[in-house]
Amino acid sequence: MRILVTGGAGFIGSNIVDALLADGHEVAVLDDLSTGKQTNVALNVKLYRADIRDNDALTNIFNDFKPEIISHQAAKADVRESLQRPQLYAEVNIIGSLNLLEHARRVGTQKIIYAGTGGATYGEPQYLPVKEDHPVNPLDPYGASKHHVEHYLFLYNYNYGLKYTVLRYPNVYGPRQNPFGEAGVIAIFTYKMLNGETPTINGKGDKQRDFCFVGDVARANVLSLTNGDNQIYNIGSGVGTDINTIYEKLQRATGFTKPANYAPDKPGEVYRIYLDATKAGRELGWEANVGLEEGLQLTVESLRAR
Ligand SMILES: NC(=O)c1ccc[n+]([C@@H]2O[C@H](COP(=O)([O-])OP(=O)(O)OC[C@H]3O[C@@H](n4cnc5c(N)ncnc54)[C@H](O)[C@@H]3O)[C@@H](O)[C@H]2O)c1
């Protein structure tokens, strides 16, 4: 299949590109390289450098590549920044996505696979692990903007027959995650530990998250090419792991011995969340293959090599 991966120079998108190439597809990347890197894109993959807000650029790209499928990963994805710049998050994540949908409709794209967020869509969970029909109460503009697009996906299918699959990711980690961002605790801690610096835990370290290895998330995208039409799926392990535990496991994996620094908590983040991915198991045939210990080891090795 001919597949356009938006955000394909970023952390998750570039891992998806690799999985799609290994599955034998023709792949191109659309990315403005705002957080993504050209070096993440395989040499045999065409990179269209453009902003998804730029309709003229999208016209040319869609006329040229005519994607049969879009894997839509491009987004502004920093919860704390979104609280400072809510309009920017709406412009990129909502209007940018709407631009893609319009061009998809114009050139006859069959399906869009969308990177949703399980961590920022549901709000503070009413029960755990969270299922897809849990009430949606995003606590920040990032989560609200990401969820908003799910409504457009539904109505573009309803009105124009454009198929979609929403994959609501948990906390994704693994090779190519940016260790200098605000998010991505595993990449940040690993990088610091490998450089002999003591990481800082915001709050008491008892917040729980659902950590999923990026290769497993990429595989969910590959499975969605031919399955899960017009459905929403949680992707995750169903298990919460607290930040102190991540710290200890990374100490063992890196050989770093010093205890963590602790700083005041940051506002706007849920206390505990982990996702029930039973539906993805049943309908996509997806489950997490890489356990936390193995995934952390792979992450440490890849950052060490860098
Ligand atoms: N990392 C996680 O744990 C996680 C969790 C839930 C959902 N997601 C979603 O997964 C997707 C990928 O996230 P990531 O962690 O790989 O982040 P990332 O920042 O590494 O990737 C995003 C990519 O989109 C590109 N991009 C940003 N704005 C763009 C624009 N206006 N036009 C074109 N390209 C643009 C960036 O350059 C980057 O390559 C995002 O949609 C994010 O919301 C990530």
Could you tell me if 285 and 223 are in contact, meaning their C-beta atoms sit under 8 angstroms apart? yes
Same domain for 69 and 112, yes or no, is yes
> Is residue 142 among the annotated active site residues?
yes
Global pTM value: 0.98
Same domain, yes or no, for 72 and 193? Answer: no
CATH of the domain at 51: 3.40.50.720
Query: Residue 83 is inside which H or E element, if any?
Result: helix 79-84
Write the CA distances from 252 to 155, 193, 255, integer angstroms: 48, 11, 5
Q: 17 and 166 in one domain?
A: yes
Residues in contact with 89: Cβ distance below 8 Å, sequence separation at least 6, in sequence order = 76, 81, 82, 141, 142, 145
Structural domain boundaries enclosing 270:
177-208+239-274+290-305
Q: Which atom of ligand 1 is nearest to the CA of 120?
A: 6
134 and 217 together in one domain: yes
pLDDT of 183 reads 78
* Ligand 1 atom nearest to 74, measured from its CA: 24
16-62 confidence digits (pLDDT tens):
999 999 999 999 999 999 999 999 999 999 999 999 999 999 999 99
33 lines ligand 1 (CB under 6 A): yes
Q: Which of 89, 114, 122, 142 is catalytic?
A: 142
The CA-atom distances, in angstroms, between 124 and each of 59, 173, 249, 278 are 40, 22, 26, 20
Residues 139 and 188 in one domain: no
Same domain, 145 and 201: no
Cα 278–chain centre separation: 19
SS3 111: strand
* Residues 38 and 151 reside in one and the same domain: yes
d(CA 172, CA 211): 6
pLDDT category of residue 266 using cuts at 50, 70 and 90 = confident
Are both 257 and 217 inside the same structural domain?
Answer: no
Give the CATH number, domain containing residue 264.
3.90.25.10
Number of domain units in the chain: 2
User: Structure tokens of 101?
Assistant: 């949908």
Claim to verify: residue 182 and residue 80 sit in the same structural domain: no
